[in-house]
Amino acid sequence: MTAVEALNITHRYGRVTAIDDISFNVNEGELFGFIGPDGAGKTTLFRIAATLFIPAGGRMTLFGLNTVSRYRELRNHIGYMPGRFSLYQNLTVEENLNFYATIFGTTIKENYHLIEPIYKRIEPFRKRQAGRLSGGMKQKLALSCALIHKPRILILDEPTTGVDAVSRTEFWEMLARLKSEGITIIVSTPYMDEAPRCDRIALIQNGKLLDIDTPGNIRQSCSHRIFAVRHQKKYELLLALKSVPGVLSREPFGDAMHVSLHPDTTLEQLVRELEAKGLAGVTATEIVPGIEDIFLELMKREA
């Protein structure tokens, strides 16, 4: 069954188009990720899904209920975590959770099994005010609060932004567990490396979807071979790559340049050309393209 159905969604702020004719489906029980840089339109899209925005065009349904006309019924089934953790800073961990439980007409006890694995981690600090928690703990508390009424769908807007690496990994493990409970999850992130954690991902840029598929398929969709080229003089390397024939793209990635080559150009030719330009000792190895490589390629194609 389809959990989320979005058809030609468009949204504008004044003259700026934030969402440009987006359509997608999310299946029930699916962990669906929106991946894209800041300003791509993720938050706007999520607010439309959370019944907070009326889109300028198109329509969206969650479980067959329209987000505009049936918002009141829907609000019982949505667990929403906005981009900034919406906690009451001067209420304690326990008071925050209790408050959200009560306004959704439930109790902590009733759905404790659902939040237990998450909440257990912050329970020792339950008397601490939320404003004094670390980023990772705030994130866990916010997730607990969004979950406490046993929603059918979780809408998580950049839940891992501003959280340390360990907490990020833990967080994705929690999402996997919630998915196994049958909860549909849509989640957004600017971190490309989190993409493989999702069942399917949508790449979003400038309010448009570049692609929707499983992370594996998206990786294979890369039409070129990608090579990691390394040399100490990174700037000279970048300049040299610009003038090598057959180089389709070059993007700096950490200590290497990711280079895609025209099918007629070989690795040996590339290395030779670079050495001829005075970059002795340059190394180049073929790599499996990552989501980020694909993203950049799709972005170029779009432009």
Partner 1 sequence: MKRFMAFVKKEFLHIFRDYRTLIILFGIPAAQILIFGYAVRTDLKNASIAVLDNAHDDVSNDLTLKLEASDFFTISNHLSSYDEIDATFKQGKIKAVVIFPEKMASALTREGSATVGIIADGSEPNTASLVTGYTTGILNDYSSALTQQLTASLPVINPEVRMYFNPNLESHFMFVPGVITLILILISALMTSVAIVREKEFGTMEVLLVSPLRPWQIIIGKVAPYFFLSLVNVIVILLMAWYVFGLPVRGSIALLIAECMLYILLGLSIGILVSASVDKMENAIFISFMALMLPSLLLSGFIFPIENMPKIYDYVSMVLPPRWFVEIIRAIMIKGAGFAYIWKETLILLIMTLFFIGLSAGKFKIRLGEGGK
Site for partner 1 in 31-60 (CB under 8 A): 47, 50-57
**Contact criterion met (CB below 8 Å) for 154 and 147:** yes
Contact residue for partner 1 among 90, 134, 232, 283 (CB under 8 A): 90
User: What is the number of residues in the chain?
Assistant: 303
Instruction: Kindly write down the DSSP assignment for every residue of 76-127, as one continuous string.
Output: TTEEEE-SS----TTSBHHHHHHHHHHHTT--TTTTHHHHHHHHHHHGGGTT
User: Is the Cβ–Cβ distance between 275 and 282 less than 8 Å?
Assistant: yes
- 78 lies in the site for partner 1, by CB under 8 A: yes
The reply to whether 161 sits near partner 1 by the rule CB under 8 A is no
- Minimum CB–partner distance for residue 205 and partner 1 (Å): 19
**Which span (33-41, 87-95, 246-254, 275-283) binds partner 1, by CB under 8 A?**
87-95
Between CA 268 and CA 246 the distance in angstroms is 12
Q: Which stretch binds partner 1 (CB under 8 A): 99-107, 231-239, 243-251, 280-288?
A: 99-107
Residues 130/87, Cβ–Cβ less than 8 Å: yes
| Candidate list 31, 114, 122, 145; residue touching partner 1; CB under 8 A | 145
Q: How far is the CB of 184 from partner 1 (least distance, A)?
A: 16
Q: Is 125 in the site for partner 1 (CB under 8 A)?
A: no
In this structure, the dihedral spanned by the alpha carbons of residues 150, 155, 160 and 163, taken in order and rounded to 10 degrees, is: -60
* Residue 151 amino acid letter: P
Which of residues 59, 70, 75, 179 is near partner 1 by CB under 8 A?
A: 75
| Binding flag, residue 10, partner 1 (CB under 8 A) | yes
The only residue of 25, 98, 161, 206 in contact with partner 1, by rule CB under 8 A: 98
Question: CB within 8 A of 171, min separation 6: which ones?
Answer: 139, 140, 143, 159, 160, 163
Which of the 8 DSSP states describes residue 171?
Answer: H
Site for partner 1 in 234-253 (CB under 8 A): none
Binding site for partner 1 (CB under 8 A): 10-15, 19, 47, 50-57, 71-72, 75-76, 78, 80, 82-91, 95, 98-100, 102-105, 129, 145-146
